[in-house]
Amino acid sequence: MLSSSQTLRELSPLNDPWDPIGSLVKYGEHRLTSVEMTVSNLCNMRCEHCAVGDTLVMLEPPKLPLELMLSRLEEVEHLETISITGGEPTFSDRTVDEYMLPLLKWARKRGIRSQINSNVTLPYNRYEKLAPYLDVMHISFNYTNADDFHNIGFAKAGHAVPRHTAARMYERMIDNARRLVGEGVLVSAESMINYRTHEQIDEIHRLIVEMGCQRHEVHPMYPSSFARDLPMITKEQMRAAIEKLLNARDKSVWMLFGTLPFYHCSDSGEERDLLKRLANEPNVSVRNDPDGRNRLNVNLFSGDVFVTDFADVPSFGNIKKSQLDELFARWLRHPLAQGVNCYCPAASCCGPNLLVKEMYYSDVDFHKRSAKM
């Protein structure tokens, strides 16, 4: 960890501490540098694509004491980043005041970068108090207008949500994002490439730029738990959407691509060409998947530790009993981790995401492949 007197390098396509490649190069093996904490199972929305939609509730149990979480974070030898997620983590004022603020203040004091995953649709005062201590506000943005927001954001509500209510929230989200940018927070808007967005990703990008977001994050959508019944698009359609976006994008905005199903070891020349284009474009980065490579997820209600907040992989330990570095070492020995831990330095690639491997490459032994550069 850094002391508070050391200055942190600015976050940029060349400095993304959430990318596990940095610690892999530095230490010669994967290390735990990132801890994600789930602090809420409550949310004011019910998005069609929500990765944790199955776990959302109307009332939630108490959380573990903050002191236990802080002491487990203190023990992580190479901690560089924390992320706070939900549900909507700011849904309850008490969670904001009693967990999120102290965690962010702790991180800022230790020179650790922080991120919150939020829909930023709640009143601005919740975000305002977090802003001075926060590095990245990560929001979802898959819309071309308020109607898209209404249809996507409440698809799983189970009851009709009036259009005017959704439209007000949509406006507030845009306004909140703008205000946070004004406060110096890096607002990173994430879009998924899926059956709804793949043909209008350029228009979505335009609105994200208009909102003032400094980063546009793009991930293909894969069918995990809550979103398992959504129509899938092909890898070719994903590739076409990325090309379309690269052709239309505003080059002053950092584009971060992640969890792509394409690798430099692919037999497809077209897929390798796209990766080459991504590597050569200014202000573009392709992040290796952090889940289980440099990051673990802690559920703050139970203390259970997971590879990600939405993984089908069961918990492999609990912070009430074990240190996080110890649990990370345990995970690295897991056969699932071993199946995706290939590494091609020439391509700055450290293997596929677990879900992607299962979906597209279940019979492929990545240890027998290497990047064709």
Q: Which residue of 265, 286, 305, 324 would you call a contact of ligand SF4, by CB under 6 A?
A: 265
CB of 350 to ligand SF4, least distance (A): 6
339 binds ligand SF4 (CB under 6 A): no
Given the complex with ligand SF4, which of 211 and 356 has the nearer CB atom?
356
Interface with ligand SF4 includes 274 (CB under 6 A)? no
What distance in Å separates the CA atoms of residue 221 and residue 50, rounded to the nearest whole number? 10
DSSP summary character for residue 116? E
Distances (CA, A) of 180 to 109, 120, 130, 177, 185: 21, 10, 10, 5, 6
Give the shortest CB-137-to-ligand SF4 separation in angstroms.
30
264 near ligand SF4, judged by CB under 6 A: yes
Q: For residue 191, which of 229, 159, 215, 217 has the smallest C-alpha distance?
A: 217
Is 198 a binding residue for ligand SF4 by CB under 6 A? The answer is: no
Crossing angle, helix 163-182 and helix 201-211, to 10 degrees? 60
Residue pair 180/132 in contact by the 8 Å Cβ criterion = no
Burial pattern 184-217, b for ≥16 Cβ within 10 A else e, equals ebbbbbbbbbbebbbebbeebbebbbebbbbbbb
Residue 356 near ligand SF4 by CB under 6 A: no
Pick one of 137, 155, 169, 349: the residue that binds ligand SF4 (CB under 6 A): 349
Residue with Cβ nearer ligand SF4 (257 or 366): 366
Q: 207-212: which pairs have CB atoms within 8 A and are 24 or more residues apart?
A: 207/141, 207/143, 207/144, 208/141, 208/253, 209/250, 209/253, 211/141, 211/174, 211/177, 211/178, 211/181, 211/187, 212/177, 212/178, 212/181, 212/182, 212/187
Q: Which of 189, 239, 352, 355 binds ligand SF4 (CB under 6 A)?
A: 352
Choose the stretch contacting ligand SF4; rule: CB under 6 A; options: 42-50, 185-193, 292-300, 345-353. Answer: 345-353
Specify the residue, 186 or 347, whose C-beta has the smaller distance to ligand SF4: 347
> How near is the Cβ of 262 to ligand SF4 at its closest, in Å?
9
In whole angstroms, the minimum distance from the beta carbon of 341 to ligand SF4 comes to 9
Q: Toward ligand SF4, which CB reaches closer, 101 or 364? A: 364
- 93 vs 106: CA distance, rounded Å: 19
The least distance separating ligand SF4 from the CB of residue 373, rounded to whole angstroms, comes to 9
By CB under 6 A, tell whether 317 contacts ligand SF4: no
344 near ligand SF4, rule: CB under 6 A = yes
Residues lying near ligand SF4 in the complex (CB under 6 A) are found at 263-265, 342-344, 347, 349-352, 366, 369-371
